[in-house]
Amino acid sequence: MLNISNIQHFSVGDGEGIRTTVFFKGCNLRCPWCHNPENLNKQPAVLRYRSTGKTETLGRLVSAEEILTELLEDKDFYCESNGGVTFSGGEAMLQASELVPLAKLLAENGVSVLVDTAGCVPYASFQILNPFVTGYLFDFKTADGDQYREIGGDLGLVVENITRLCKDGKAVRIRIPLIPGFNTSPRSTQAICERLQDIGIKHVDLLPFHRLGSAKYEAMGLEYAYKTQQPLTKDDLGKIEAIYKTYFSVKIEG
């Protein structure tokens, strides 16, 4: 069974074309800027919105066959836009074994599948999914091993997985969340560029920080560490983009 929180139709920010994004419960990282706190744990999350009085519970177990029907409802849009289905989270790769039947069914129905991942899992998890997915949207958060450990990750494992995926011929799209105070200084930016260049990466997507998830923290009764953090200014974003452009082709998301 698959542990999911939500299915978002007509998504345009999770890969090429029109996509349906499935959000999976559970994550092995603890990034304080996370905008999907409802997916950090495997247990259902109860959100109570004071402004509207609305309450919702996110988290349910579904079978591959059960979810397939809903995902195929948008197949015509996938075909027309070169879109498909994206597995996100949380960390979808923590459910890799359970994802295989769904990814296989989608592939058999001619639907492209992308996996949005932070990549802090053994490569064996990628190996079992590789035959059935088109590629990976791979978050790369920092080139500093200590910083990765602070959020529960492993830089060495991330680099190894990106390297092996590329070697195995899988499409890997590197996405870098731009988090003020964490990875946006010139020194940090330069280090990220050099590490990714060493791997052989040619293109990166930059994802500027936003606070769109702050309402979820409040609804869950959680403190949001970045609730007062301001987004990057246009000028600061331009300077960061300029550094990345000396190494890669660059797209800014959002």
How many CA within 13 A on the CB side of residue 206?
Answer: 24
Residue-wise pLDDT tens digits, 141-198: 999 999 999 999 999 999 999 999 999 999 999 999 999 999 999 999 999 999 999 9
Identity of the amino acid at 237: L
Please work out, in degrees rounded to the nearest 5, the angle formed at the alpha carbon of residue 16 by the alpha carbons of 192 and 159.
25
Q: What are phi and psi for residue 179, nearest 5 degrees? A: -110, 110
- Return the closest-CA partner of residue 139 out of 94, 97, 176: 176
Give the model's pLDDT for residue 12: 82
Identity of the amino acid at 125: S
Residue 230 has pLDDT above 90, yes or no: yes
Contact 110, 84 (CB under 8 A): no
Q: What are phi and psi for residue 175, nearest 5 degrees? A: -120, 130
Helix, strand, or coil (residue 211): coil
Give the model's pLDDT for residue 20: 97
Contact 5, 23 (CB under 8 A): yes
Q: What does pTM read for this prediction?
A: 0.95
How far is residue 136's CA from residue 120's CA, in Å, rounded to a whole number? Answer: 13
CA 233, 237, 240, 246 torsion-angle sign: negative
Pairing of strands 2-11, 19-24: antiparallel
At 80, is the pLDDT very low, low, confident or very high (cuts 50, 70, 90)? very high
Locate tokens 């979810």: which residue?
67
How far is residue 81's CA from residue 238's CA, in Å, rounded to a whole number? Answer: 30
How is the chain split into domains, by residue range?
2-252
Contact 85, 113 (CB under 8 A): yes
Cα separation values, 173 from 116, 134, 206, Å: 9, 11, 11
Mean pLDDT, the chain, rounded, equals: 96
Give the model's pLDDT for residue 254: 73
Residue-wise pLDDT tens digits, 9-35: 998 888 899 999 999 999 999 999 999
Tokens for 244?
């990345």
Give the model's pLDDT for residue 189: 98
CATH of 2-252, one of 2.102.10.10, 3.40.50.150, 3.20.20.70, 3.40.50.2300: 3.20.20.70
Tokens for 170?
């899988």
At 53, is the pLDDT very low, low, confident or very high (cuts 50, 70, 90)? confident
How far is residue 61's CA from residue 38's CA, in Å, rounded to a whole number? Answer: 15
Give the model's pLDDT for residue 212: 85
At 114, is the pLDDT very low, low, confident or very high (cuts 50, 70, 90)? very high
- Return the closest-CA partner of residue 97 out of 126, 61, 136: 126
Helix, strand, or coil (residue 90): coil
Contact 227, 217 (CB under 8 A): yes
Give the model's pLDDT for residue 19: 96
